[in-house]
């Protein structure tokens, strides 16, 4: 790898941001009343109170707008103490910043190195390498991140393999596809395909995307391909990368999308059905990027519902969409190339932007009724039509089920009820452990390993914090021993991935894990022995490892997560 170039001056970055601010200000002045708040919303809903917290210490402050983090901080005194004390560590030097990686992983770029780009092109744009990486992308990335139209991207792949020169925007998108494919690879596959180790390949592709975006003039370019490249890049950068940097740069992406009008549905401007759908996919992946990166930092999303009117993508396969079509295709039921995106859109809209989501005065019952209704709707429209013998169908169903179950769990510790009541609610505790078991299964099951790379970037911080707080006060018995094994398995997996994400709860959870270990060890010397034969309260999957999972156990595996009342599968 080449030696990192110096960072661009702060004044240069500020100037770039000011340019964007000017464009956005102009857009806002003309947007006007078309983005007003939903007129059907009641005054009570408009004035709903949303919890928030500002941690201040010795002249420093950190804002927390994430309901789950605040609720857990109120119920787990140790967690709040740790969050406050961890702010002292925020100013410590970080090797990733001092080494120059910050610049090379940035969509804002750090200067174009022509020698590096020429060398990168020589190695990666060989037809055999390009076709291999494209095949990996289609298998590992496209099912989970459906931001690109496969047939359109395949044309770019054919052009580069045929020696046809690409535009700077197309080249940036190609490099972003390379990066996503490499990130999704297992290390041994990377060595086999690229003849370099995985970390080196990731850094080379990361640097190429950064310079490719700068060469395409991202901040001033109005090309949709360039914006697609930036969004795909940042979504994949969350995997083992600096989530705080991703969160900061997602703000730039949102502004660029506004500058291109992607936040407005294409039907407002008479665009072709193809362009309308591509822009919808792009906007909703930007919304997902905003949600994920904001959750990592424990803050509100930057996007608000009154900011846009872009509709959900239509649930169709890529081959149903062509640039020459004149009529919008009909939405399908069940599984398509875009189904996971459509379901995520529904969950995100209901969990983030509905009146039920932001009002701390809503009761647990109101919240759970709302979540249950959403779950049944997704079940009828999509999940009923899945074939769970097909691995990717099972992955999608599990991802959706986990999201809904986490929302159900959050509803129980965000409702403002007496924390002591929660401590004795076995149903909530059991649900938390089940969530963690299935999250672990998604990341370790060999049958679905080609998609585990992205699942590893979704860390269940709040669920682990809740379970640890419960384990500190619950008696030692087979049930809590099993729950402790589940937590340790997940925590060990996080440690093996060597990710330092700078997420809000990362350092607090490290310390809470230590405290729980000490607490359980101390009580083990004073607690009477428990009849190990009494396993009636154990969880359906126990401390299951992905390698041991029996594909025929899929229906039974969901039994204890069936809070909807009727079996889904």
Tens-place pLDDT, residues 301-332: 999 999 999 999 999 999 999 999 999 999 99
Question: Which one of 321, 342, 363 terminates a domain?
Answer: 342
- Evaluate the CA torsion angle 220, 222, 223, 227 in order and state its sign: positive
| Same domain assignment for residues 436 and 479 | yes
Distance CA 298, CA 303 (A): 15
| Same domain assignment for residues 215 and 112 | yes
Q: Which residues contact 491 (CB under 8 A, 6 or more apart)?
A: 464, 513
Distance CA 63, CA 52 (A): 8
Burial class for 183, CB neighbours closer than 10 Å (0-12, 13-18, 19+): buried
pLDDT at 171: 97
| Same domain assignment for residues 377 and 429 | yes
pLDDT at 99: 31
Give the predicted TM-score (pTM) of the model. Answer: 0.78
Question: Which one of 342, 362, 383 terminates a domain?
Answer: 342
Take residue 357 and report the two structure tokens written for it. 């989501």
Q: What is the pLDDT of residues 390-427, one digit of tens each?
A: 999 999 999 999 999 988 888 887 655 555 555 557 88
DSSP letters along 325-347, please? Answer: --SPPPPPSS--TTHHHHHHHHH
| Same domain assignment for residues 443 and 493 | yes
Residue 21 is assigned to a structural domain of this protein: no
Question: Which one of 292, 308, 342 terminates a domain?
Answer: 342
Residue 70 is assigned to a structural domain of this protein: no
Task: Give, as one character, the DSSP assignment of residue 54.
Answer: E
| Same domain assignment for residues 319 and 413 | no
| Same domain assignment for residues 280 and 158 | yes
Residue 295 is assigned to a structural domain of this protein: yes
Domain count, the chain: 2
Q: Are 191 and 197 in contact (CB under 8 A)?
A: yes
| Same domain assignment for residues 517 and 393 | yes
pLDDT at 453 over 90: yes
| Rg of the chain over all Cα atoms, to the nearest angstrom | 24
Residue 501 is assigned to a structural domain of this protein: yes
| Same domain assignment for residues 557 and 505 | yes
| Same domain assignment for residues 156 and 210 | yes
| Same domain assignment for residues 328 and 437 | no
Q: What is the pLDDT of residues 333-372, one digit of tens each?
A: 999 999 999 999 999 999 888 776 656 667 888 888 889 9
Alpha carbon distances (Å) from 428 to 227, 468, 561: 42, 13, 11
Could you tell me the residue range of the domain that residue 475 belongs to? 354-527+536-561
Span 445-471, mean pLDDT?
Answer: 89
Q: Which of 30, 37, 48 is nearest to 309 (CA)?
A: 37
Give the confidence band of 434 by pLDDT, cuts at 50, 70, 90.
very high
CA angle 252, 254, 255 (to 5 degrees): 65
Phi-psi region of 59 (alpha: psi -120 to 50; beta: other; left: phi over 0): left
Residue 3 is assigned to a structural domain of this protein: no
| Same domain assignment for residues 519 and 380 | yes
Residue 384 is assigned to a structural domain of this protein: yes
Q: Which of 8-22, 148-162, 253-267 has the lowest mean pLDDT?
A: 8-22
pLDDT at 315: 97
pLDDT at 421: 52
Q: Which of 72-76, 378-382, 395-399 has the lowest mean pLDDT?
A: 72-76
Give the confidence band of 155 by pLDDT, cuts at 50, 70, 90.
very high
């Amino acid at each position: 790898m080449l030696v990192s170039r110096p960072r661009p001056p702060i004044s240069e970055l500020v100037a770039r941001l000011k340019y964007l601010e000017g464009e956005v200000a102009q857009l806002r002045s003309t947007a006007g009343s078309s983005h007003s708040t939903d007129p059907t919303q009641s005054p009570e809903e408009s004035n709903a109170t949303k919890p928030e917290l500002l941690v201040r210490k010795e002249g420093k402050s950190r804002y927390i707008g994430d309901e789950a983090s605040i609720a857990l901080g109120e119920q787990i005194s140790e967690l709040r103490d740790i969050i406050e004390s961890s702010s002292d560590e925020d100013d410590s030097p970080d090797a990733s910043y001092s080494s120059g990686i910050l610049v090379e992983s940035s969509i804002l770029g750090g200067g174009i190195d022509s020698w590096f780009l020429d060398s990168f092109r020589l190695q990666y744009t060989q037809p055999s390498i390009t076709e291999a990486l494209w095949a990996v992308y289609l298998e590992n990335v496209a099912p989970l991140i459906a931001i690109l139209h496969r047939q359109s991207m395949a044309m770019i792949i054919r052009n580069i393999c045929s020696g046809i020169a690409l535009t700077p925007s197309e080249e940036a998108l190609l490099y972003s596809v390379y990066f996503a494919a490499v990130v999704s690879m297992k290390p041994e596959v990377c060595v086999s395909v690229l003849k370099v180790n995985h970390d080196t390949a990731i850094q080379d592709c990361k640097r190429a995307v950064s310079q490719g975006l700068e060469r395409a003039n991202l901040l001033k370019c109005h090309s949709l391909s360039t914006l697609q490249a930036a969004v795909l890049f940042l979504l994949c950068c969350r995997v083992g990368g600096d989530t705080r940097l991703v969160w900061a740069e997602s703000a730039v992406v949102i502004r660029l999308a506004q500058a291109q009008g992607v936040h407005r549905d294409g039907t407002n401007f008479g665009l072709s059905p193809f362009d309308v759908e591509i822009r919808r996919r792009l906007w909703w992946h930007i919304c997902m990027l905003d949600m994920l990166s904001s959750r990592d930092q424990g803050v509100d999303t930057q996007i608000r519902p009154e900011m846009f009117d872009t509709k959900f993508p239509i649930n169709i396969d890529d081959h149903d969409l062509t640039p020459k079509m004149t009529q919008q295709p009909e939405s399908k039921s069940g599984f398509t190339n875009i189904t996971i995106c459509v379901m995520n859109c529904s969950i995100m809209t209901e969990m983030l932007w509905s009146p039920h989501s932001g009002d701390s005065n809503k009761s647990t019952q109101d919240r759970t009724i709302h979540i249950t209704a959403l779950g049944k709707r997704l079940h009828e429209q999509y999940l009923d039509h899945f074939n769970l013998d097909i691995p990717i169908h099972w992955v999608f169903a599990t991802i959706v089920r986990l999201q809904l179950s986490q929302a159900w769990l959050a509803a129980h510790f965000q409702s403002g009820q007496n924390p002591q009541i929660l401590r004795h609610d076995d149903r909530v505790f059991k649900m938390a452990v089940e969530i963690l078991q299935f999250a672990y299964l998604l990341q370790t099951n060999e049958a679905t390993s080609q998609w585990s790379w992205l699942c590893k970037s979704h860390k269940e911080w709040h669920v682990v914090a809740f379970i640890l707080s419960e384990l500190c006060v619950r008696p030692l018995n087979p049930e809590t021993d099993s729950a402790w094994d589940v937590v340790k398995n997940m925590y060990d997996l996080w440690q093996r991935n060597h990710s330092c994400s700078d997420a809000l709860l990362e350092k607090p959870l490290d310390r809470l894990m230590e405290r729980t270990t000490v607490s359980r060890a101390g009580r083990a010397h004073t607690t009477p022995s428990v009849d190990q034969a009494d396993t009636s309260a154990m969880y359906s999957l126990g401390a299951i490892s992905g390698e041991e999972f029996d594909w025929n156990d899929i229906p039974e595996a969901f039994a204890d997560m069936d809070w909807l009342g009727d079996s889904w599968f």
